[in-house]
Structure 1
Amino acid sequence: MIEKLFKAKFTTTGKTIEQLKAEYTDFLPSDEKLQALLEAYQNLDGVEVIVYERRFVGEENYGVFAWDESDKSIDDKIRDFIYQAEQDDMFGSYIDDREEFLADWESGNYSPSGSLVFEKSDIEIIEELKKGV
């Protein structure tokens, strides 16, 4: 259950390839895929979103709840990040298939296999949102 929502912005410009590699435990993507993912992270820097706290045993992070889809530049950055995440060889559904991904995205038929989750260091909280807003 989501208890609190926050207006936040991404602080992802400082990520490195080494940090991305450390997030993988079973299968390490190619350097080419990691570089593309790193660029997608950097492209998100400064984008404002609505997030919620996720707390599980041993980890605390944020899940993306929503963003301003009417702002094409924001929606495009989120879309491009998600496409790069879909390149994961174990969990991706659109590996090297940008055309199908874009068609599904534009038609509203895209359905992610998981949540967009970010480390606390990737998010700067701007303010807690009041219920009903």
Structure 2
Amino acid sequence: MLPPPARETTTFSRIVAAIVFAFAFPALVLSQAMIWTDDATAFAQRAATAASAAITALPFGAVLGWPYVFCAACAWACLHQFGRHHRSLAAIIGAATGVAVAIKLIGLQAADVVLLWPLSAVLGLLTGLGVWQIAYGRRQRSSAPRKASLA
């Protein structure tokens, strides 16, 4: 049974920020993980490569990740329309998107499934939760009462 309808609302600027996060976060994490776990290069070379990879990962994330972000955004728009945009469902959509990326990258090859599927699912889960937090998370509310305008 699903929880009651959500009361959280969002703004267009928060949706745009959440979509940018959905493109940038996985690309940056994966690029940095690949660089820093490479034992074949020296530490100084890895540091220089990591700095440049932070810049180049963003366009690659947008070019290669748009089908996944688009599908996840469509699923999320449907949930939002029906008032079911809960944090737990964001995590499930993110994890499913991460597994879809892993399937596309390696298919069903048994040697890589054990490592890449859980990593992709966790990264997708974290991305889904991050998107939810950006779109619907805490807002700063002004504690001062609004003054009426005299004009």
TM-score range, shorter chain: 0.3 to 0.5
The structure richer in strand per residue is 1
* Structure in which a larger fraction of residues adopt helix: 2
The TM-score with structure 2 as length reference comes to: 0.31
The TM-score normalised by the length of structure 1 is 0.34
